[in-house]
Structure 1
């Protein structure tokens, strides 16, 4: 299990080519994610959707937008 301190250490080790993405619906943040590019590959980390908006496709939509 990854603790919060370990998670913070991992984020500090991420390459400088990274982006935080937020998906908004009606002016409210509903999903967010961290994308990291390294050696020509893109990794998506910490994709999260607010509980009341889960299972409505927001996470999938954010993921597709980040990868495009």
Structure 2
């Protein structure tokens, strides 16, 4: 409903209210964060986007993905 009000015909990112083509292109809420994509092993080209901060960046998520 809110996407119609702001004029977004595609996908409205919930945390930033930026209109993008698909959820994986949403920017992170703050400039300090790094966008990491966790690939979906069942759907080629799909994945989950997680914004992280800190020195380890996406490496911390890669460690959890291997568990």
Same fold (TM over 0.5): no
Tell which has more relative contact order, 1 or 2 (C-alpha 8 A, sep 6+). 1
TM-score by length of 1: 0.30
Q: Which has the higher strand share?
A: 1
